[in-house]
Structures are given as C-alpha cells and as structure tokens.
Structure 1
Amino acid sequence: MLVGWLLCQRDLEVFLQVIGVIAVAAVIIPWILIPVAPLLAIFLYLRCYFLQTSRDIKRLESTTRSPVFSHLSSTLHGLSTIRAFKVQQAFQQMFDEFQDIHSEAWFLFLTTSRWLAVRVDGICSVFVTTTAFACLYFRDELEPGSVGLALSYAMTLTGMFQWGVRQSAEIENMMTSVERVVEYAELESEAPWETDVRPPYDWPTRGCITFDRVNFSHGSSEPLVLKNLSVVFKPREKVGIVGRTGAGKSSLISALFRLAEPEGRILIDGFLTSEIGLHTLRQRMSIIPQDPVLFTGTVRKNLDPFRQHTDEDLWNALQEVQLKAVVEDLPNKLETVLAESGSNFSVGQRQLVCLARAILRKNRILIIDEATANVDPRTDSLIQQTIRDKFRECTVLTIAHRLNTIIDCDRILVLAAGRIQEYDRPYVLLQNRDGFFHQMVQQTGRAEAASLLHAAKQLGESPWASLTGSFTAHTGFKASEDFLRAELSVTGVAMSMFIYASSSLLGSFNPAVVLRRVPILVLFILVQ
C-alpha cells in the first residue's frame, strides 16, 4: 500500500512538471501547441497499446515466478531427504528449468518496457527539436533569456517524461492486485457469527440430525451437489456414508457445517441450523478431516485452543490415543512449538492429535471425513477402536472409501449424484444383489467381499435383530428394533427380574431358552 501511494505521488509530480514545461514553452512560443496535440495523441495510442500487452506479460511473469519460490521452499524443507537419496542434481535441474521459464517471461517484460521507452524518447525528441526550431524561427521576436528558459525546460522533459510514463504503466499493471482485493471484498459474507437463537449450553444433548428436503451447492452459480436429500440420523447411531467420487459425501458435511447455505431444513435436536450462529453451530460438532489440521503453535494450543481444560485432561486425552509417550519425549512436552503444518509429527500422529482434540471437546456429534485414508494399518485400527470406545454415546458420521472401516456401522447411507440410493443396515443392503452397496463390496475382490459379508452378517445377527425377529414370529406383531429398544429401556428392570424368575423356575439359567422366551415376556410386560 505504501509503495503504491509513493508511486502515485511521484507520478503526480511528474505530470505537473510536464504540464509546467509545456506551459512555459507555450507562453514563450504559443505556436508550439500545434505539434503538441498530435504528439499527445500518438503518446496515448502507444501507451494503450503497451498496457494491453504488458498487463498479460506481467501476469505471466507472476505465474512463472511462483513455481521458483515453491520449489525453493520445498527443497529447503526436504534438504535432508534430498541428500539422503542423493538427488541433488535432479532438484538442481528442476530449479534451472523453473528459473529458465521465469527468465523468459521477465525478459519479455523488460523488452516491452524498453519498447515503450524508445518511442517515448522519440516523442520527447520531436518536442525538443520543434521547440529549438521554433526559437530559431522566431528569434527576432524572442529575448535570449526566454529562448534559454524554453530550451532548458524542454531538455529536462526527455528523461523525466520517460520515467513518469513507465511508472504510470507499472501502476496500471499493479491494479490487477487491487482488482483481486476488490473481488474478495465484494464476496458475499457468511451468515452471522452469533444470532438471537441460542440453544442450551449442553446442546446437542442427544445428537439427532434431520435433513428435510435439502438441496445444496457450493455457490449461487454452481450446480446442485445434493438434491432433495431427506434422512434422519438417530441419536448415538453410527452411520457410514459411502459413494463414488462426486456422489456428494463431503457436500453433506459442508451443508451440515453451513460452509455454504443449503436449501431446505437441517435440524439438530430440534433446532434449525439456519437459525443458529455459525460459531455456536460449528463449535458443538467435532470433525476429524482426511488431512489433519495442526496450527503453528504449542501442542497445548493444538489440543485446547481455548484453554478450557486442565493439564490432566490433556494428558488423559493423549493417553487415550497412545500419544502420551511421544509428547513426553518432546523437549518442552505440552509447551513444545510445532513446526509449520505440524511436520514434527507423522501423518498418523497428526491424525491422532485431531482425535485427541475431539475427545476433549466431548461433543455429541462426530464427523469423520476419511480420517484413516492416509495412515498405516496400526493407526487405522487404533483410531477405529478409540472411536468405538470413547464415542459410544455420540452420533458418528463416517465418510470412507475403504468399506472395512464402516462395515460395522449401525447403518450405511449410499449416495450417488447427490441423491440417496440406499440407507439401511449393512447386512440388509448386502442382501440386495442389485443394490449399489452390494456392487461396491463385490468390486473390492472376492476375499475382501467375503470378509465384509461375514462382518456384516455378524452385525446383522446381533441380539437386537434376533429379538425383533423372534418377537414378530411369536406375536404376529411387526415391531421395529427402535420400538423394542424404547419399550425395554422403560421396563428393563422389571423384565430382567421376570426373566430371572422364569429361568429359576426352569431349574437352571439357559440363555438360549431365555432368549426364545424374550418376545413373549416383552408382550406380557407391554400388556401389563
């Protein structure tokens, strides 16, 4: 900003000096204004012609300069690795190639500047020559002092005018940066950070998420990536979200966090997300992204940026993700400053730091966006086990390409072209041989598909599923699993006592016998 202001100030000074020179010459020799008009027209034409070319060349020079700095930065960052693999010559050759391309663009820029300078000097020379011949022609009418003043002022015009024109052209080229700033300044701002609708402090308490006829696009002029989406994620439910690239998996999360404003209604525990401030909405949900985000700062700041937890809480969270020993070995432990993007840690360790951050937040909703896509199998297993143990009471939405990471979810949502194709239990989806999910499983290979089917079958034959089937078989009443969960949660104690008493009458406690009688007992309790 300061450089631009100084350039504008200098251009204004040059402009006033040029006007002064022409005015002095015109006062002494009024006829000098006759050639000034065509010279000015020629100058304006040359300047416009130059700017049309130099603006694009300046943009090209800036574009070719970026790879040079990027390559230099990455080389310095990975210098030890480059030397370890003895590829210094290859990186030097790459740098030379980038530098040659930039030098070509820079040479073009200098050439165009010199092209204008030569022609501006020619215009100034014509003006000086015209002034000199005019002084000779009107020598009888002019005083010697006036002739000397006109010629001396005209001589100063050459270098000064050329410099001023080049600087004005440079300012014109720099206006491209101002255009970008104005473009960003005119971008539509996000929704308010805070609104009058303030949910309770412990919201969400259940973690029920409802999408009601939601349409979503990443911009007002962009095509829809979610189309008439209606789905309910129940409290404490673990949902896997799958689909091919571009199906709308990440867009669903973007709509939930309101990275762009969706059409339709999204409710969390009965509160419309569109009526809640962005700060509150995004703070009450945790996300573990595919590319772990660590800030430049201490380990403590990355785990607890708002300083809401004690050291004991931080160490416990690190212990949960098996990073306590790693952090204890750091020079300043929790106060150790992480390098840019957390390069002190491996990709897997950075992912575990994000997981520890989510554990500390204790939110009822956790979103996992392909968090284990770039980690080793051991870290993958650790993350999956930690999620099962520490987020048992949370609603977990998991986006994954690797189906083995979501096959044990309660339900699986299959998206295609922004629409819901299937949504049910994994084992139920696999029974439909023409379904999208069944086809995706088969494409993993015979061995992997068999393993996924076995895992889904074990989940599908859980006690709750067996209970639902037995209840329907014995009573003829088709009850859903959620219905039985709700009823049994209310009468769980009474039913447990009744089962124990019934089994005691049988002489021994046989779980298989008891399980067969559970539907009848449930019906008995409901009738009572």
Structure 2
Amino acid sequence: MDHLIEFWPILKRLVKYAIPWKKKIMLAFFFLIIGSTAEVIGPILISYFMNNIVSKHKFYFTSIIFIIIAFIFLQILAVFFNYFQSIYFNKIAVKIINKLRNDVMDSAIKQPIYQFDSQPIGQIISKVTNDTEVIKELYDTVFPILFRSITLIIIILCAMFTLEWHMAMIATLIIPLIIIIMLSYQKKSTPLLRNVRYCLANINNKFNETINGINVIQQFRQQNRFKKSIHYSSQLHYLARMKILKLDGFLLRPLLSLISAIILCSFIFSFSCLKNEIFEVGILYAFITYLGRLNEPLISITIQQSTLQQSIVAGERIFSLIDSKKQQYGKNKKILKTGKINIRNLSFSYDKNQKNILNNINIDIPSKSFVALVGHTGSGKSTLANLLMGYYPIKNGDIYLDEKPISSISHCILRENILMVQQDPVILADTFFSNIALGKEISEKKIWEILKIVNLHSLVKSMPKGLYSILGEEGNTLSVGQKQLLSIARILAKNPKILILDEATANIDSETEKLIQKTLTSITVNTTLIVIAHRLSTIIDADIILVLDKGKIVEFGTHKQLLNFKGYYSKMYHFQISKYY
C-alpha cells in the first residue's frame, strides 16, 4: 500500500491549488452536467421512436418532426455546454499552473547556496518547466475528463435502470473490473513514470551543460562526445517511455475493450433468451448505445491514469523542491551601524566527510578598513568570503558583524549591508539602468555619475538607447572586463557597510584597474573593503593583509611588515615581480 500512501497526499496537495477558483470550477462543472445530460437523453428519444413508432408502424409526421428537432436540439446543447466547460477548465488550469510555477521558482531561488553546488541546474529547470507543464494536464485534461466521465457514467446508469434494471445490473459488472485495472496500473506505473521524469530531467541537464560550455566543446572538438552523451540519455528516456507504453497497451484500452465485448455479448444473450418476457428492440438499441457511451468514459478514466500518475510523480518532484530546506537567516532587523568584523575559532568544511577548508580562523577587522586575503589556490580565501556573505551555515566558530552573530542577522539587513563582486559577474538580459539599479530607486543622474567612475559612460553613450539599451543574455554583448566594471557599478549604487571583491579586477586592463583601485580605496570612508587578490600589486595599500595557507592564517600585517618578515607573502610578491618585470 506504499504507492497509495504516496499518491493521495500529493494529489490532495495538488487539488488544494484549485481552491481559490472553486466558484469558477463549480460553474464549469454545472456546464459539464448540462452537456452530459443532453448527450445521454438522445438515445432515450431514439429508443422511444423505435418502440412506439417504428415497431407499431404509427408514423405520425408531427411526432417524428418533434423527435428529430428535440434530438438535434439536445446535440447542439451538448456541444455548446461542453465547449464552455472546456474553456473554463483550461483557463483555471493556466492560472493554477502560474501559481504553482511561481511557488516552485520562489522556492528554487531561496535554496541554500550549497544545494546548487551538488544539484545539477538542469534538474531544477526541469522541475520549473517540464514538471509544471505535466501538472497543467492534470487540471486542463485529467480533472475535466474525470468529472465528465463520472457524470456521464452516473447519468447513463440512471437511464439504464430507468429503462430496464436487469440489463443495467449486467452493465454495472464492468465498474469493479475497471477499478481493479486502475489500481493495478497505478501500482505498476509509478516507479516507471518516476524513472521517465528523471531521464527527461537528465536530458535537460545535458543540454544545459552543452549550451553553456559550447565554446570549450568546439575549441577542443568535443562535439561527438557530447552528441553521444545526449544520445545515450535520450535512449534511456526512450526505453523508459517504451515500458510505460507497453503497460498502457496491455492494461488500458485493449483489456477494457475485451471486457466491454463480454458485457455486450451478455446483452445479446439475455435479449435472445428473455425477449418475449421483458425486452423490447428499442431497449436493446438503447442499451447497446449506452454500453458504447459507457465504454468511452470508462476507457477515458483508465487512459487518464497514465497522465494522472505522471502528474503525481511530477508533483512529488516539485514538492520535494518546495519543501526542501531554505536558506536560513536570523530575525535581527537592526541596521548595521559599522562594518566591523570579528571572526572567532572558525572552522569549516563543505561536507562533513571532508577535511576542513578553514581551520581555527581568528581575526578582528576594524570598520572602514581595507583588508586583503591572499594565498595559493585552495587556501580558503573564497570560502571565507562566502561565509562572510552568509551563504553557508557555520557549525564551528562564529562570525560577528557589527558585534552581532551573522546567524542572527535578517536576510534584508545582511544583503543591504554586505555585498560581493565576483570574478565571473552575473549580468541580466535587461537594460544598463536595470542592471545597475537592480530594483532600487535611483536617478539617471546618479547612474551616469557611477558610470563615469567605472569608466563605462562612453560605452553607454555610444549605444542606441543609452542607459536603456538591452544587454544580451548573460551580458554577451559586453567584454569580460566590462561585465566586471558593471558589477562594480552596482555596488557603488548600494553603498554597503562591507564590500568583498573576489578577484573582481582580474580581467581589467592596468589603466582601468588603477582607476577602480582609486575608487574602491575612496569608498573605505564608509565601507569595510575586503579584497581577494592573486595580483599582489593591487593590495599594497591594504591596512591588513591576511595570508592563508591550507585553511589557516599563516601571516598577517601590512605590505611592508610582511615583506620584512620574509615569509610566504614575501616569496609570493617577489615571484610575481620577477614574473611580470
């Protein structure tokens, strides 16, 4: 019964999304009942015609015209109301999916940063796009068909029992058989459908990886390898789909058609044996017609099992994302008055099974100071910066910002007061203005002042729409250096208490770098500046230089003090001097 335990809670949760539109659903359901009733009354009219006019040879023109007009009217009524119920259900489905997609996306962007370290982006994209689209079918196809089919079945059975209850009892035998088939299908299809969704998400991930790395793939002539990889993933998806199709082919329409044929034979046998006692030709016609009509909604219900199961599996994946642990922040909303940083006994590893990246870090950083972090690759510089940003939970040790534990500071205060410029900045496919303001109310005059500071004003002026020129996807119309300058412009629009630069000037020419260094040094009037640097010439004016090696602070002091100490820093600096000069 485990599959039932998984099935019903997810279905119940998906149905709850429809509650805000319950009035429109009731109206659509009313249209559905009227349309279905009009469909079912038609065979009763034909049955009356056969029993009372054809069999008795009473061909009254008025009666025949009345029956014809009534039959045509009922068919038009059925088409009219079925059309409107379909429109209503589809409108409701689109609104529900918009709400669900927003919830999924909201949950995705609130994921802890470490989730993106281990989870392929394609898997998340698949949940937001493909899985929500599958669930859309639940609302605009499955539910309407189920409602309509159940309504038709009830009305048809009522009509059958009204006409002749003996044959109606025979017809009802099909229902428990259908229920057994549906339960069997549900049990066997769930793991197969779950595998289908996983394979599809894997294909999305492969495509995402291929498109993002297209430069490297073409440069190293890896097209065939990636083509084979995508082909292999597609083949796995094909095989998974074929298993579902084979199951559908056996348990759904063929088996149902066989059961319907057996019931029809029972009708014919009953009529042959008992026709002189209770049955009339018109009743037999009506029952044969109703069996065909009854067969279709039953087949529709069974066929929808496949889509229903896909929706449940998609819902399971989506709710796993929605329910997953979000980035945790504190509740303290007091504004940070200073950019003072104190780090106490800080040790950290990304995985509990790995060795510590940082080991027993202790440092006091005064407010409005210029601090540099240097060290070889893998020494822990970027990890320390990520912890200062609050991206990862701290389990061993503490970080205090303005004498407040970082874990106690609220999200809004943390993001307003501590910002980072990364080596590979993210540029939105939007205007220059939007990329700098990022939702903050700021005047065009202020934006132009910032662009002059970062030496981008001439570039923006040369573009057709100036500040409102649209940048390409990921800012692909800009050079790497221009992207970094733009990311620094964002910071100047915010004026944070603490600013971290993670190799932010690595791809900028020397002349522009000096301009940026001058700008960044000037903002220490109000801001604590922490710079991660490999190019040591950029941090010789730092108030404190922290030298990290294997996750430990091995040296700290000013540029001159560290040179005089003739340790790690001195060797690194003289090596770079000899390399460049």
C-alpha displacement of 1:292: 2.0
Among candidates 172, 179, 182, match of residue 309 of structure 2 = 172
Q: How does 1:258-297 map to 2 (within 5 A)?
A: 258-262=390-394, 264-297=397-430
Q: Letter of the aligned partner of 1:284 in structure 2?
A: N
Q: How does 1:22-101 map to 2 (within 5 A)?
A: 28=167, 30=169, 40-65=179-204
Q: Letter of the aligned partner of 2:191 in structure 1?
A: Q
Match of 1:231 in 2: 363
Match of 1:397 in 2: 530
Indicate whether 1:344 and 2:483 are aligned.
Answer: no
CA gap 1:449/1:21 in 2 versus in 1, 3 angstroms = farther
- The sequence identity of aligned pairs, in percent, is 22
Q: Does structure 1 conserve the Cα–Cα contact (< 8 Å) formed by 2:357 and 2:380?
A: yes
CA gap 1:393/1:12 in 2 versus in 1, 3 angstroms = closer
- Return 5+ residue gaps in structure 2 as ranges: 1-92, 95-135
Q: How does 1:196-215 map to 2 (within 5 A)?
A: 197-199=334-336, 203-204=337-338, 207-214=339-346
Question: Within 2, Cα distance between the matches of 1:247 and 1:93?
Answer: 34
Match of 2:289 in 1: 152
RMSD, aligned α-carbons: 4.6
Q: Does structure 1 conserve the Cα–Cα contact (< 8 Å) formed by 2:422 and 2:504?
A: yes
- Residue-by-residue CA offset, 1:211-231 (whole Å, 9 max, x unaligned): 123455779999975554321
C-alpha displacement of 1:39: 6.4
Larger radius of gyration: 1
Structure 2 residue matching 1:367: 3-state secondary structure: strand
Structure 1 residue matching 2:252: 3-state secondary structure: helix
C-alpha displacement of 1:423: 3.1
C-alpha displacement of 1:334: 2.7
Q: Does structure 1 conserve the Cα–Cα contact (< 8 Å) formed by 2:181 and 2:251?
A: no
Match of 1:5 in 2: 139
- Residue-by-residue CA offset, 1:3-53 (whole Å, 9 max, x unaligned): 332222312333454577688598526467778656653553244323322
CA gap 1:418/1:181 in 2 versus in 1, 3 angstroms = farther
Question: Within 2, Cα distance between the matches of 1:52 and 1:181?
Answer: 16
CA gap 1:377/1:160 in 2 versus in 1, 3 angstroms = farther
- Residue-by-residue CA offset, 1:410-465 (whole Å, 9 max, x unaligned): 433244565444433456556777x66577x39xxx8536469x9xxxxxxxxxxx
CA gap 1:377/1:162 in 2 versus in 1, 3 angstroms = farther
Q: Does structure 2 conserve the Cα–Cα contact (< 8 Å) formed by 1:241 and 1:413?
A: yes
Q: Letter of the aligned partner of 1:181 in structure 2?
A: I
C-alpha displacement of 1:241: 1.7
Question: Within 2, Cα distance between the matches of 1:393 and 1:45?
Answer: 69
Q: How does 1:269-418 map to 2 (within 5 A)?
A: 269-305=402-438, 310-376=443-509, 379-388=512-521, 391=524, 394-406=527-539, 409-415=542-548, 418=551
Structure 1 residue matching 2:458: 3-state secondary structure: helix
Q: Does structure 2 conserve the Cα–Cα contact (< 8 Å) formed by 1:348 and 1:375?
A: yes
Among candidates 243, 266, 279, match of residue 143 of structure 1 = 279
CA gap 1:166/1:208 in 2 versus in 1, 3 angstroms = same
Question: Within 2, Cα distance between the matches of 1:128 and 1:30?
Answer: 14
Match of 1:524 in 2: none
Q: Letter of the aligned partner of 2:361 in structure 1?
A: L
Indicate whether 1:253 and 2:381 are aligned.
Answer: no
C-alpha displacement of 1:286: 3.8
Q: Does structure 2 conserve the Cα–Cα contact (< 8 Å) formed by 1:131 and 1:150?
A: no
Structure 2 residue matching 1:138: 3-state secondary structure: helix
- Residue-by-residue CA offset, 1:368-404 (whole Å, 9 max, x unaligned): 0121344455544543454345547743211234455
**What's the TM-score, normalizing by structure 1?**
0.66
Q: Letter of the aligned partner of 2:279 in structure 1?
A: E
CA gap 1:196/1:412 in 2 versus in 1, 3 angstroms = closer
C-alpha displacement of 1:187: 3.6
CA gap 1:397/1:116 in 2 versus in 1, 3 angstroms = same
CA gap 1:53/1:297 in 2 versus in 1, 3 angstroms = closer
Match of 2:557 in 1: 424
Q: How does 1:472-491 map to 2 (within 5 A)?
A: none
CA gap 1:119/1:397 in 2 versus in 1, 3 angstroms = same
Structure 1 residue matching 2:146: 3-state secondary structure: helix
Q: Letter of the aligned partner of 2:189 in structure 1?
A: F
Structure 1 residue matching 2:203: 3-state secondary structure: helix
CA gap 1:9/1:132 in 2 versus in 1, 3 angstroms = closer
Q: How many residues get paired?
A: 434
CA gap 1:219/1:162 in 2 versus in 1, 3 angstroms = farther
Match of 2:37 in 1: none
Higher RCO structure, 1 or 2 (CA under 8 Å, sep 6+): 2
CA gap 1:322/1:125 in 2 versus in 1, 3 angstroms = closer
CA gap 1:422/1:34 in 2 versus in 1, 3 angstroms = same
- Residue-by-residue CA offset, 1:346-389 (whole Å, 9 max, x unaligned): 22112112223333444453210121344455544543454345
Structure 2 residue matching 1:291: 3-state secondary structure: coil
C-alpha displacement of 1:277: 3.2
C-alpha displacement of 1:232: 0.8
Q: Letter of the aligned partner of 1:208 in structure 2?
A: K
CA gap 1:73/1:392 in 2 versus in 1, 3 angstroms = closer
Q: Does structure 2 conserve the Cα–Cα contact (< 8 Å) formed by 1:11 and 1:168?
A: no
Question: Within 2, Cα distance between the matches of 1:388 and 1:98?
Answer: 49
CA gap 1:393/1:399 in 2 versus in 1, 3 angstroms = same
Structure 1 residue matching 2:542: 3-state secondary structure: coil
**What's the TM-score, normalizing by structure 2?**
0.60
- Return 5+ residue gaps in structure 1 as ranges: 79-84, 455-528
C-alpha displacement of 1:116: 1.0
Among candidates 263, 275, 281, match of residue 131 of structure 1 = 263
- Residue-by-residue CA offset, 1:223-272 (whole Å, 9 max, x unaligned): 97555432111344332223455544333233323234435543334445
Q: Does structure 2 conserve the Cα–Cα contact (< 8 Å) formed by 1:194 and 1:280?
A: no
Greater Cα shift, 398-407 or 2-11: 398-407
Q: Does structure 2 conserve the Cα–Cα contact (< 8 Å) formed by 1:113 and 1:166?
A: no
Question: Within 2, Cα distance between the matches of 1:334 and 1:30?
Answer: 76
CA gap 1:174/1:410 in 2 versus in 1, 3 angstroms = same
